[in-house]
Structure 1
Amino acid sequence: MGDMLHDLSAAELGNAYREGSLSPVEVTRSVLDHVARWESHLGATYLLRPEAAIEQAGASEARWRRGEALSPLDGVPTTIKENIATAGDPLPAGTAAVTLRAAAGDAPPAARLKEAGLVVISKTTMPDYGMLSSGLSSFHTLARNPWDLSLTPGGSSAGAGAAAAAGYGPLHIGTDIGGSLRLPASWCGIFTLKPSLGRIPIDPPYMGRAAGPMTRTVGDSALMMAVLSKPDARDSMNLPPQDIEWPAFDVGPEHVRGLRIGLLLEAGCGLPVDPEILAAVNQAARLFERAGAIVEPMRPFMSQAMLDGMDHLWRMRSYVDLSALPATQRAKVLPYIRQWAESAATFDGEHVFRAFSQFHATRVAAVEACAPFDYVISPVSPNMPARAEDPSPTNDPLRPLEHIGFTVPYNMSEQPAASVNCGYSTAGLPIGLQIAGKRFDDLGVLQVSRAFEQIRGAQRPWPQPPAD
């Protein structure tokens, strides 16, 4: 088992530490060795510091020996997305345009992971300002998909998605404002939960912005939620403290019996859905039906006007931010991002107001459409992953969000939504199923995801690093 320690789940590692059959130091060394075999191909890490990780693992090992483990996850390897502040480390936000300054402290997700004794292997890469569904960055190495190195892992939690699929330890955390957890999860074949807004405190908070776990299994994400969902006053959108029984995620397939599940196969905007993705999601719906769920088709509730409105408001936000930079720094931003943002220069006040109003229109439409159902299933993305070098699936800065029609509504409605692998393309690429629940029903989404994890059939082996 020694050579495969990087493949063990967080639950397995916690049990092994408690029994004394494994130590955090040997596990961390195994993970670091595995990262070394992969990383020149993937470009998933930022601030990879093996010596610091071994030191943290040694401290954890001593705590387990004294019977003073900080949590069931003490000593388990993790990575943290670059834009989640860690004390003393710079936050480039994926772009060479940022002046690097050390963060004064840990943002809430990083603080919770450290308080629980997790071993931070590395931070993970992201694109410029987190505004791309790819791993293309003017600061970081280009991130690639471990299933096919010519393709993107997705984004903006690009490095995290690649790291989870490649086995850089079991636990990873990313962020999501329109699909940045779920898109890389779908394209990398892993599991993620974008929680209800405020369930995981984050700093700085922003409309629709959520942090979430990225793992190979539903169970490991549930373990992370138990740590990450603790309150933090720095998040003005933080939900009231709630004692959620996260271990109750572990249900059987019978859990879905009688549930009313909406099946959404068209987003109502953006790119058409790839036939192979449609086939995989339809097969997932049949599996739910065989398990006793009541699956009913849904009409699309998004519109192109909603998607374009959100796009235009984000363009103006970025235009304002980039306009504040000195010309020499602004020139370092990816040309795609510059062109996208600068297209907002002619927007007048009325245009921006009407664009902003589409955020609330999206929220209302999503809540109304989901109301008749216990859960809604759909594709995560309408398309398979693009080339690694492409900033977006359309490769067009004036049509940049055509792939987020299924994901972005749940950011605006504040509903929890997961991505769980539901099949593979003929080329062997994973395909994600989105499972969305009502606002605050994070545990319920985990439970339905866990049930599906058991009825979906055997999964293909995880990708292995190329032979040197």
Structure 2
Amino acid sequence: MTQQTQEPTTAELSAGYAAGLDPREVAETILTRIAAREPVLNAFYLHDPAQVRTDAAASAARWAAGTQRSAYDGVPVTVKENIPRAGHPVPSGTAIANPPVAATNAPVTDRLLEAGMVILGSTTMPDWGMLSSGVSSLHGVSRNAWDPSLTTGGSSAGAGAAAAAGYGPLHVGTDIGGSIRLPGTWAGLATLKPSAGLVPLHAPYLGRVAGPLTRTIADSAALMSIISRPDARDYSTRPYPQMDWNKRLSSPRGLRVGLQLDAGSGAPVDPEVAAAVQLAAELFAAAGATVVPVAPFMSAAMLTGIDAFWRTRSWADYRALDEAAQASVLPYIARWCSAGKDSDGAATIENYQRFAQLQQVTRQATESLDLVLSPVAPMAAFGAEHPMPSNDPDEPMSHISFTLPYNMSGQPAATVNCGFTTDGRTIGLQVAGRTGADEDVLAACAWFEGVRGDAAPDWSLVP
């Protein structure tokens, strides 16, 4: 494998293009990188080097003519496979024959193309996005760029692998319970689950968002400046005020910052994870923030009920398949969703009401705080071949009790690396804020990037 050099940021590429850097040269460098690592990492579902070269050449021509579509024209980007691109299949990670082919682009795809960005391809995900790993009946196993024996996280699995591996600076994932942020903690990335309705979606659903996975907070902010533009096709979008994606925080002095080390449900937090998050909170306190403890607020009943509702939803999809298609679904997913057949109408409604309960308690627990610091997940990265950390489809999802609440409450939640385990695995800090305060959350994370010292990932160590 080739040694990875420091990858240019979005801002550096933009300045370079304005000064005469050729987008074709950048594309070739990244294509070489992809060719070297992709046989191991398996980050892409769709990747067409010829199309990448064509799009990079078109960008080069626009820059030469002074007709570039945006400051980010020519910047490489990937999108998760469940974000439609017109004319391409959307299998959502399953090996089911004849997957649907997208008739139109998703709003996110259109925003990227309108900005002149070069889409490198569509990144992998596990079956129906219902695993927190890169295990898929269609793709096999997507792997962690730091250590291929480890998971890259999921369900934005390929996006996490691509971001960590240096497949360009920008990657778009989706998140309904942690699917952007889990690759963030297990691959050392900077990510953002945006506020509800900020980034327009092609298929809105309770808790679902699209957002960035990158190596730096500045890159996440740059991507948000493009994909957060409104689109009338998403009926769930909200009229947020214009955000300043270049906002800076000189110091957290005066901020009221919560620290949560016990989610109240799910797996216990690994001591090394807790220690890294505690040290991050101490940096905020040392800089003048008022750090206060946040008591557990997500109950085991909420976690179990939401997990049960998702099983029922997926069981409905699974039951509608013919026998051959059912046989093509990942056995873990088939076993997991089969429990959904036992929920009658009353139980399903009761489980659905858990979403509102979680939304309520999350808002109540955090409304007096500017920021909330917590682990992203209770554990560090696990084996790449394992579908889930617990690897037991009969158990509720024990690793999402820090991330899921903010999907339900609609609040923004970002990740930034805050340390490493003794064996070198990355540990992410989750930073959540008030709904609509995405710019403030990213600014706080950028401040932390500047003071975290040895907790910063050394990307030159990625093979």
Tell me which interval the TM-score lies in, with the shorter structure as reference length.
Answer: over 0.9
**Which residues of structure 1 form unaligned runs of 5+?**
none
Unaligned runs of 5+ in 2: none
Q: Which one of the candidate residues 248, 251, 263 is aligned to 2:249? A: 251
CA distance in 2, matches of 1:88, 1:197: 28
Task: Tell me, in whole angstroms, the C-alpha distance in 1 between the residues paired with 2:417 and 2:265.
Answer: 23
Match status 1:302 vs 2:298:
yes
Tell me how far 1:159 sits from its aligned partner. 0.4
Could you tell me how far apart the structure 2 residues matched to 1:135 and 1:117 are? 29
Mapped to 1, the partners of 2:71 and 2:174 lie a distance apart of: 24
Q: Give me the whole-angstrom Cα distance separating, in 1, the residues matched to 2:356 and 2:370.
A: 22
CA contact (8 A) 2:302 2:357 kept: yes
Specify the SS of the correspondent of 1:247.
coil
Q: CA deviation at 1:400?
A: 4.0
Equivalent residue number for residue 25 of structure 1:
24
**Relative to 1, partners in 2 of residues 1:390 and 1:136: Cα closer, same or farther, differing over 3 Å?**
same
The Cα offsets for residues 250-307 of structure 1, whole Å up to 9 and x where unpaired, read as 333x2x1110000000010000000100010000011111111111111001000010
Taking the aligned partners of 1:314 and 1:460, their CA distance within structure 2 comes to 35
Partner of 2:180: 181
Task: Please give the secondary structure, in 2, of the residue aligned with 1:246.
Answer: coil
**Which residue of structure 1 lines up, in the alignment, with residue 15 of structure 2?**
15
TM normalised by structure 1 equals 0.96
- SS of match in other structure, 1:236: coil
Deviation at 1:241, TM superposition (A): 5.7
CA contact (8 A) 1:146 1:162 kept: yes
CA distance in 2, matches of 1:174, 1:313: 23
Q: Deviations over 1:59-90 (max 9, x none)?
A: 11111111111111110111110000001100
Equivalent residue for 1:397?
Answer: 393
Deviation of 1:465 after TM superposition, in Å, equals 6.3
- Matched-pair contact (CA < 8 Å) for 1:260–1:373: yes
Name the amino acid aligned to 2:330.
L
Contact 1:392–1:400 (8 Å) recurs in 2: no
> Does the 8 Å contact 1:189/1:430 carry over to 2?
yes
**Per the alignment, do residues 276 and 238 of structure 1 end up closer, same or farther by CA in structure 2, a change over 3 Å counting?**
same
SS at match of 1:200: coil
The corresponding residue for 2:131 is 132
Alpha carbons 1:6, 1:27 under 8 Å: kept: no
CA deviation after TM superposition for structure 1 residue 399, in Å: 1.3
AA aligned opposite 1:225: M
CA–CA separation in structure 2 for the residues paired with 1:463 and 1:114? 30
CA–CA distance in 1 between the matches of 2:4 and 2:261?
39
C-alpha contact 1:198 1:239 (8 A) present in aligned 2 = yes
CA distance in 2, matches of 1:448, 1:421: 13
| Structure 1 CA distance for aligned equivalents of residues 453 and 97 of structure 2 | 46
TM-score (normalizing by structure 2):
0.97
Match of 1:462 in 2: 459
Residues 465 and 284 of structure 1: CA distance in aligned 2, closer, same or farther (over 3 Å): closer
Query: How do residues 351-370 of structure 1 correspond to structure 2 at under 5 angstroms?
Result: 351-370=347-366
Deviations along 1:228-259, whole A, 9 cap, x unmatched?
011111111111263222122x333x2x1110
Q: Contact (CA 8 Å) 1:171, 1:213: kept in 2 or not? A: yes
Maintained 8 Å contact 1:394/1:400: no
1:6 shift after superposition: 7.1
Q: How does 1:84-95 map to 2 (within 5 A)?
A: 84-95=83-94
2:265 pairs with 1:269: yes
CA contact (8 A) 1:166 1:463 kept: no
Name the aligned partner's letter for residue 11 of structure 1.
A
Aligned counterpart for 1:449 among listed residues 445, 448, 452: 445
User: 1:10-409 to 2 correspondence within 5 Å?
Assistant: 10-20=10-20, 22-97=21-96, 99-240=98-239, 242-248=241-247, 250-252=248-250, 254=251, 256-409=252-405
State the one-letter code of the partner of 1:361: Q
**Contact 2:4–2:460 at 8 Å: present in 1 too?**
no
Q: Report the Cα distance in structure 1 between the residues aligned to 2:230 and 2:396, rounded to whole angstroms.
A: 35
Secondary structure of 1:7's counterpart equals coil
Q: Is the 8 A contact 1:191 1:420 kept in 2?
A: yes
Q: Distance in 2 between matches of 1:283 and 1:292?
A: 15
Deviation of residue 99 (structure 1)?
A: 2.4
Instruction: Give 1:463 shift.
Output: 5.8
Q: Secondary structure at the match of 2:328?
A: coil
- Equivalent pair of 1:6/1:168 in contact (CA under 8 Å): no
Amino acid at match of 1:430: T
Is the Cα–Cα contact under 8 Å of residues 208 and 411 in structure 1 kept in the other structure? yes
After superposition, the Cα gap between the structure-2 partners of 1:247 and 1:98, relative to the gap in structure 1 and judged at 3 Å, is: farther
Contact 2:188 2:457 in 1 (8 A): no
| Paired residues of 1:362 and 1:412 also in contact (CA < 8 A) | yes
Distance 2:59 2:13 in 1: 13
Distance 2:236 2:144 in 1: 33
- Percent identity reads 51
- Give 2:10's aligned amino acid: A
Name the SS of the counterpart of 2:135 in structure 1. Answer: coil
Rounded Cα–Cα distance in structure 2 between residues aligned with 1:215 and 1:11:
13
**Does the 8 A contact of 1:132 with 1:155 survive in 2?**
yes
In 2, Cα distance between equivalents of 1:47 and 1:347: 37
| Bigger Cα displacement from structure 2, 37-46 vs 362-371 | 37-46
**Structure 2 CA distance for aligned equivalents of residues 99 and 242 of structure 1:** 42
1:406 alignment partner, SS class: coil
